A and B are shown apart, each in its own frame.
Chain A
């Protein structure tokens, strides 16, 4: 594949990734404040989170200072994100494949991050020896990521196709996602084994993307891997694989959102605006006409 084409593909696919990722994240973030729907345990409850307690356990809780532990919250998140703690606790059979699958990707993200930093440093003229050192580390690290991810993907595919419980709920898209990722991992490890200086080659590609260098020469095997990886990136934000982003909201905005409404606060102002919206639910007892707002409808004397 001509280097120029590869660079252009990279721009297009990275742009798609960025735009759709930002759009989807923004579209969740801008959704209106919702009614409280917290769920124990809430890890920021200082001194209570280990058994799932909340500030409601305090006598006249509104007179007491709210004590939050961000350390507990960070610890919970760290264990959940890095080690998939809840899967370990509630679905261990799947964890044995899901953990290497996810951890492999974390390792690849780390390797990719190191590689980008090294490439940028190199482009800025920082010592070549630093880059060489990175190259030595990044290649094997990426290989570990490919192997872990591959084992996980094969395991998950196997489980989804053989476990009756999973099979009934597995969609064609779910299988396609795993196959696509498996292809990324397989071509990655193949490139690592087939090429001299895998990391250096990828670094050249990253450098070409940064500098718009269309004279890039890339081997067919690496080009295949890079295109697959970029296609995956561009495809990712269209799918439920964006759950890593959603998880921020499901935990912080829903499960752990125990902030009481404060008179005169920002949330109260937002709620008051939302209550002014007209509703159109059409069951007779609602008595909506498309003009009455939430306050009108909730405060009307009904059925007297």
Chain B
């Protein structure tokens, strides 16, 4: 067993890797995935990357943070960090989360009850730095020592010591991207302390004060979304072309009306997809179109920039970017005068629009928002579409997206659909609000720089992969095709990467997809099987 890494160690041993991690440290997977020598080898960081970027937390570089060139630069960042630390605790700068953050700062009793709730910690073989409490305690000590009056005198007694220096903040920055903010730890806390929230707030500090954020979430994420119209880089013209192509393709395949209406004034609902679906999983928006048209719903997509992409990566790292995107989504809904906005199959879109931005949008910016899960349940059980569940007679399990289930409490609608339409539906253990994150949460699913993809899939997604295998343990071989239903784009991206990483389609016959695909596959009027047993 490796030596204990203490909280104060984060600022020590500059230039060394604090807590190296490798595949050999991880909890073993069940057969046929139990042989380390048969698993993909983790990518080695090149000497160039090692020389230029910060990787001294665990030997992983998720963020490509450049090394400062001199001590003056280091000091500048440390000073900025300290300024941000103070701003997190000010109403003017952080009223959005000040009360929950203060509670989590002041009242943790350090009982470590949350540790075993964290899939990253448990699957890592118990690495101290991955405890949900480790990064929180670093932050707590820094606040108590460097922000509170008399902290330098009393904090050793009240909290334990820590040093604020470049090594501390650069490792802490990386550490903020080793937590998917799934909030399973918060659920288990007897006090109600929320380590996921602390991760969220630290990410905000780095972004909003130092301008540090993962390129995939910021430059290629929210900035591109606001500038071009979508985090995928698609502008209005491209997205309309792509959807037109999808409509035609789906119509050819199914013989169903898959026409997508655009910018329909006074429509009942504005559907906003995660635009990643349009590029990576076109059958998903296609299936939505088939279902909504078959049910006679008056719906529309919007071609306004930003409003055709439900992604809002601001949720993961920056309140201001979040607000900017939420405002654009809402402005389009108001312009079209729709009754409601419906979230596509995207978990973080649900959370960003349905709860987080609920208290940012006031007055005439208030628009009703609904989950696709409830809308689809209403349609499936309305009798407007005929289904033949025997068309889905293969093993199906469901992954619960944290943002839809644990954070919003939308648990049963999607299950009622699967119980009705999928005769061999079985639950994972645990499931529902006790689910485990896929490992791609909080933006990880779109982050694969340097050697982070190996960490994200091998460790971050390990618990989910184990759960998937367990759910199909009665028919483990590849001869029986099995389907993981993941009604969330980011989750699908992570599950795709995990299944591909281990060759799970070939070895175990497991593929994945969304909810609407299963619904269309079961429609009596759809003559050809809609689900393709291949990796997308």
Contacts and interface: CB of A to CB of B under 8 A. Distances in A.
Interface of A: 28, 31-42, 45, 48, 51-62, 80, 84, 86-87, 89-91, 94, 98, 164-166, 168-174, 176, 240-243, 246-247, 249-251, 253-255, 258, 260-261, 263, 267-268, 271-272, 274-275, 277-286, 294, 297-299, 302-304
Contacts of B25: none
B143 interface: no
B146 interface: no
Contacts of B111: 87, 91, 94, 98, 166
13 contacts: A34-B359, A41-B409, A53-B411, A56-B408, A62-B368, A169-B112, A172-B160, A240-B107, A251-B192, A261-B361, A281-B84, A299-B324, A304-B227
Those 3 A-B pairs whose CB atoms lie nearest each other, nearest first: A250-B192, A54-B409, A52-B433
Contact of B97 (A37, A38, A52, A174): A37
Q: Name, among B115, B366, B408, the residue most crowded by chain A CB atoms within 10 Å (CB to CB).
A: B408
Contacts of A286: 208, 320
A106 B253 CA distance: 68
B96 A39 contact: no
A165 B362 contact: no
Interface string B412-426: 110000000000000
Nearest to B108: A240
Contacts of B12: none
Given A38-B355, A268-B362, A280 B103 contact: no
Nearest to B433: A52
Q: Name, among A37, A45, A48, A286, the residue most crowded by chain B CB atoms within 10 Å (CB to CB).
A: A37
Contacts of B163: none
Q: Name, among B116, B211, B362, the residue most crowded by chain A CB atoms within 10 Å (CB to CB).
A: B362
Given A60-B340, A282-B209, A303-B226, A253 B410 contact: no
B113 A94 contact: yes
A41 to B, nearest CB: 6
A59 B236 CA distance: 31
A240 to B, nearest CB: 5
Given A35-B97, A281-B93, A298-B327, A261 B362 contact: yes
Given A246-B192, A267-B359, A303-B227, A56 B107 contact: no
B524 interface: no
A261 B193 contact: no
Q: Name, among A59, A84, A98, A272, the residue most crowded by chain B CB atoms within 10 Å (CB to CB).
A: A59
A37 B359 CA distance: 11
A279 B319 CA distance: 12
Contact of B406 (A39, A86, A268, A275): A39
B109 to A, nearest CB: 6
B446 interface: no
Given A28-B99, A168-B6, A279-B93, A59 B377 contact: yes
Contacts of B80: 282
Contact of B191 (A172, A247, A267): A247
Contacts of B108: 240
Nearest to A37: B100
Given A56-B408, A173-B159, 8 more contacts: A56-B374, A62-B368, A89-B188, A90-B116, A91-B112, A171-B159, A254-B99, A263-B362
Contact of A40 (B95, B156, B405): B405
B432 A51 contact: yes
A64 to B, nearest CB: 11
Interface residues of B, number: 95
A84 B226 contact: no
B120 to A, nearest CB: 16
Contacts of B209: 281-283
Contact of A283 (B112, B160, B210): B210
A32 B102 contact: no
A304 B100 CA distance: 35
B100 A86 contact: no
B103 A249 contact: yes
Contacts of B361: 261
Interface of B: 4, 6-7, 80, 83-84, 87, 91-93, 95-100, 102-104, 106-117, 128, 133, 137, 156-160, 183, 186-194, 197, 207-211, 218, 223, 226-227, 320-321, 323-324, 327, 340, 354-363, 366, 368, 370-371, 373-375, 377-378, 405-413, 432-433
A39 B413 contact: no
Contacts of B158: 171-173
B366 A263 contact: yes
A32 B407 contact: no
Given A169-B133, A242-B107, A250-B192, A294 B102 contact: no
Nearest to A241: B109
B192 A255 contact: yes
A87 B412 contact: no
A304 B227 CA distance: 6
A241 B106 CA distance: 10
Given A243-B191, A246-B106, A250-B191, A57 B362 contact: no
Q: Name, among A281, A285, A299, the residue most crowded by chain B CB atoms within 10 Å (CB to CB).
A: A281
Q: Name, among A39, A94, A249, the residue most crowded by chain B CB atoms within 10 Å (CB to CB).
A: A39
B359 A165 contact: no
B100 A164 contact: no
Contacts of B354: 56
A39 B100 CA distance: 12
A42 B409 contact: yes
A258 B354 CA distance: 11
A152 to B, nearest CB: 13
B320 A171 contact: no
Given A56-B374, A171-B159, A243-B191, A36 B359 contact: yes
A170 B112 CA distance: 10
Contacts of A94: 111, 113
Contact of A87 (B98, B113, B160, B411): B113
B1 to A, nearest CB: 9
A164 B112 CA distance: 11
Given A62-B368, A283-B211, A35 B96 contact: yes
Given A94-B111, A247-B192, A283-B208, A268 B363 contact: yes
Contact of B83 (A84, A260, A282, A297): A282
Nearest to B373: A57
Nearest to A280: B93
Contacts of B226: 302-303
Contacts of B112: 91, 165-166, 169
A253 B99 contact: yes
Given A39-B406, A42-B409, A51-B433, A34 B375 contact: no
A254 B196 CA distance: 13
Given A57-B413, A285-B223, A254 B194 contact: yes
Contacts of A241: 109
Nearest to B339: A60
Contacts of A254: 99-100, 103, 192, 194
A40 B100 contact: no
